[in-house]
Structure 1
């Protein structure tokens, strides 16, 4: 039997220990957020039953109609300031037997799947509940009383249309929400289709969470990545090792996992992702039947892309070459920080320059060079911070 976690430690205490050891820099903005997370921890600890005093006591407790409201926290600010690190510290300490930490995109994919399954049950006569939202919310709450979302953002109209009703149910059940985001609540789903129908969710969110800005003066993620080469050639063991080293530095101890980016009726598979970083091979993106909309979804989802094993592009790879041109155009237009391992320097990747494709690849090569420049790299976090 595993020992129970030590709930006496706080996020502030852990942050102080890490700064004292030299693992982190002293950061007052991070400490302010840590104090707010500790407030939520204290509320969660107080809510936990102190002891199983009697079966009768538990029965009466279960019959209580009023649900104790614990305000969660919505942490927003520029990339690389430590939002995810603080939330992960909190999640590890949270005294909840049922808790869930997920990227928001992953959570919403799960929600849509559950709604579809509930509608199918109603269609098949397995339930009389025509509205799928209440049972889906009840199931979600039964699995997790605490939800921690990384990179909370709303870009899909299908998500936008159900969030208010879904979280009305979840919050009424007593669910506690902690979220990190690059976007303040008032700018969620900004300029989205039928945004007026989404606005009640923003009001609901502000009612059940405290909103705090984390804008440290230092972008710790970029501070580490700036020392790493961003274009490695030729394709050999040294290039693979250098890409792995840059990736590990970017992870900063976090665990990258596969994920999916939902599209209309399908999804884009992401082999490895954490926060706003992802790692693909050339084959993942250019051998697969992906198009401009897919690359746009990737650019909107991630700030930093690692792309392994770009080969030389001969006449037998015309489709892959076209996709690669579109991919680089999209990443460049969105100021994505790109790490590449390739078989040759940009101008030598295309083996035969013929017609329009040759001219287009000249632009691609030029952009790959520019994406290595200090000026371009300096813009990459600024774009997200401005959103």
Structure 2
């Protein structure tokens, strides 16, 4: 039997080397490929995006040349831009396509969230981060974010430098590349920076509906205090690493950590338990929790919770604001994570579930 872990007791540090080593797709996308991406026939843009990315990875041409991005020219074909920007809502398969591109690409490559790349700059400094990434044939950036104008400028500069040295870039976001920042920042200088970066990207639209909501309806599952304690005890008795924290305490603890450290807070945890979930009204706290949810989702960690349904923790004002899409994505992921625990399984990986002593999912 193991004791329940308290995430609030964990204050890990993260080195630049650890961030670099972690720049690979989340494990639920270990087997993501172009062949197992199944476009929805109701949304032809999905098939078009698949074909475009196949062509993108199939036309690498010569090795990148120092200081010059090598474009392959053909009399009947326009020069290929160095970047692809996958634009679409959450849950439409953009991340699968991004991971499939990473797996198909030759040579040195890196895959990470926008947060991971900005954390690398924080850990190594701009020059150190640029040096560590220079020479990579491909950078895949998931959910390009603009929560901080300084991060926007650093990433714009970094991407421009890497493209100039020969790297190719594929990124995802919930908004078109030239519209990033709308509804968040009014500063024209930042918009000009963003639009300058967008010129290097071919925007590819991916329409569709959130796949997590196709089979999941209603609210995120909650349990009462007695069932919560029973489940935590049962999981601990089976030797499954389960955490248990008060929601309020976790929200306070996240404020003491840089979001780049949230993934390490969850290291080795197989099920997350939260008590006393409530609706959040503070934007900063909500953004931190959304970042935490992303890391839990990447790590395939089911959630047990008491209190308010976890997919309702972002208040109505937030859901109508500039971060609406980020909160809706987090809500969708929380619905899937609590449903996974209701079914007694990881929502992605049956082998991983069995290794944890949990029944395999039917999904």
TM-score > 0.5, shorter chain as reference: yes
Structure 2 counterpart SS, 1:298: helix
Ranges in structure 2 where 5+ consecutive residues have no aligned partner: 1-32, 72-80, 236-252, 266-270, 320-327, 339-363
User: Aligned to 1:40, which of 56, 77, 84?
Assistant: 56
Change (3 A) 1:262 1:150: farther
The answer to whether the 8 A contact 1:152-1:180 is kept is yes
User: Are residues 1:137 and 2:130 paired?
Assistant: yes
Match of 2:287 in 1: 297
Q: Distance in 2 between the 1:94 and 1:78 partners? A: 25
- Over the aligned positions, Cα root-mean-square deviation in angstroms equals 4.3
User: Aligned to 2:121, which of 102, 107, 111?
Assistant: 111
Structure with the larger RCO, 1 or 2 (CA within 8 Å, 6+ apart): 2
Match of 2:109 in 1: 99
* Mapping of residues 265-280 of structure 1, within 5 Å: 266-267=258-259, 269-271=261-263, 280=272
Q: CA deviation at 1:220?
A: 1.6
* Mapping of residues 243-282 of structure 1, within 5 Å: 266-267=258-259, 269-271=261-263, 280-282=272-274
User: Are residues 1:202 and 2:194 paired?
Assistant: yes
Q: CA deviation at 1:35?
A: 1.3
Q: Distance in 1 between the 2:198 and 2:114 partners? A: 18
Structure 2 counterpart SS, 1:73: strand
* Mapping of residues 47-86 of structure 1, within 5 Å: 47-48=62-63, 66-69=68-71, 71-86=82-97
Q: CA deviation at 1:282?
A: 2.0
Structure 1 counterpart SS, 2:120: helix
Match of 1:149 in 2: 141
Q: CA deviation at 1:157?
A: 2.2
Change (3 A) 1:200 1:164: farther
User: Are residues 1:224 and 2:215 paired?
Assistant: yes
The answer to whether the 8 A contact 1:72-1:178 is kept is yes
The answer to whether the 8 A contact 2:119-2:260 is kept is no
The structure number with the bigger radius of gyration is 1
Change (3 A) 1:310 1:220: closer
Change (3 A) 1:94 1:178: same
Q: CA deviation at 1:88?
A: 1.2
Q: Distance in 1 between the 2:166 and 2:255 partners? A: 31
Match of 2:155 in 1: 163
Q: CA deviation at 1:101?
A: 0.7
Ranges in structure 1 where 5+ consecutive residues have no aligned partner: 1-13, 50-61, 116-131, 242-260, 274-278, 312-323, 342-387
Structure 1 counterpart SS, 2:58: helix
The answer to whether the 8 A contact 1:295-1:330 is kept is no
Q: CA deviation at 1:262?
A: 9.4
Residues 37-73 of structure 1: per-residue CA shift (max 9 Å, x gap): 12211221x2249xxxxxxxxxxxx7x7643145220
Q: Which structure has more strand as a fraction of its residues?
A: 1
Q: Distance in 2 between the 1:105 and 1:215 partners? A: 25
Q: Distance in 2 between the 1:36 and 1:205 partners? A: 20
Residues 294-349 of structure 1: per-residue CA shift (max 9 Å, x gap): 522135546898884546xxxxxxxxxxxx89x998524336355597xxxxxxxx
Q: Distance in 1 between the 2:48 and 2:179 partners? A: 23
Count of aligned residue pairs for this structure pair: 251
